[in-house]
Structure 1
Amino acid sequence: MDGRIIGIDPWSQTVGWLTLQSAATNARARDPQRENETAARRGPCAGDAPAHANVAVSVIDRPTSSTATVAWCDPRSCRYGDQVWRASVARQPGVCALSGRSIGRGDAIYRPRACRPSPLNAGAMILATVVEDVPRG
């Protein structure tokens, strides 16, 4: 033995750990039973919470006339830096996540684009008039 200490490169350790965590996350995401349990644990979305309860929301871009790119940060549940929202019609009453104004059933709104898995703020809405005040980029 020549007295040298052989160690594992910290970068390789970090990459290995992240790979293991990603594989575990992907396995959980493919498990439908676990997905249903996760959805049940989420509880009400921040969009259902009282007006702006700790949620930071901003429209950062208007790529098309029927879409908006929104930055959403809820320290209790989720953060989306560039989430695509689409124009829609409110199916139920709610509160505008950006202005705090009331939304009635049938009002023109924007909501997070549907995808799998559903975003944690899937029930949130922003009044179309508020979004349309932002210039298109």
Structure 2
Amino acid sequence: MSGQAIGIDPWLQTVGWLTKLSAATNARARDTQRAGEKVAKRLRAEMDRPQHADVVVSVIDRPTSSTATVAWCDPRACRYGDQVWRASIARQPGTCAVSGKSIGRGDAIYRPRACRPSPLNASAMILAAIVEDVPRG
């Protein structure tokens, strides 16, 4: 072997290091985001089980036959003054946020309209019979 050194391009070496550092940073950011999503999901689950002494929910309008405008006030976490809810079918059992009555899977309900970011009461439900007693618009 002669005394010839293998040359490494400094630019390629720098790009390689930056790529490795970026991958590690992105992995940490994804982990942080996942942890935040888990906390938000737990908080939404807590919000969806209203303590009737604390949470005040009322249907304030019926703009269409399949939507309702709801006022939701939870002093522990949030307030929605004119949240749009839509008619749906319960995918899981729960409790009506207005009456406290049980809701079974397959019951006609109203739930908050899907949007991004999800509202804290995203999986709350109101029995359709209660909403439909409110006169339309």
Report what 1:130 is aligned to: 130
Report what 2:5 is aligned to: none
Q: Deviations over 1:27-76 (max 9, x none)?
A: xxxx8766543332232232234x52511000010000000000001111
In 2: Cα distance, 1:68 partner to 1:133 partner: 11
* % identical aligned pairs: 72
Report what 1:57 is aligned to: 57
Report what 1:103 is aligned to: 103
Q: Does 1:83 align with 2:52?
A: no
In 2: Cα distance, 1:45 partner to 1:35 partner: 20
Report what 1:47 is aligned to: 48
Is the CA contact (8 Å cut-off) linking 1:45 and 1:123 kept in structure 2? no
Residue 36 (structure 2) aligned to one of 35, 38, 41:
38
Is the CA contact (8 Å cut-off) linking 1:45 and 1:120 kept in structure 2? no
Q: Per the alignment, do residues 61 and 36 of structure 1 end up closer, same or farther by CA in structure 2, a change over 3 Å counting?
A: farther
In 2: Cα distance, 1:36 partner to 1:119 partner: 18
In 1: Cα distance, 2:47 partner to 2:53 partner: 8
In 1: Cα distance, 2:124 partner to 2:67 partner: 15
Which consecutive unaligned segments of at least 5 residues does structure 1 have?
A: 1-30
* Structure 2 residue matching 1:38: 3-state secondary structure: helix
Q: Please report the TM-score for the alignment, with normalisation by the length of structure 1.
A: 0.70
Opposite residue 40 of structure 1, the aligned amino acid is K
In 2: Cα distance, 1:135 partner to 1:32 partner: 47
In 1: Cα distance, 2:63 partner to 2:31 partner: 36
Q: Rg bigger for which structure?
A: 2
Please provide the CA RMSD for this pair.
Answer: 1.9
Q: Please report the TM-score for the alignment, with normalisation by the length of structure 2.
A: 0.70
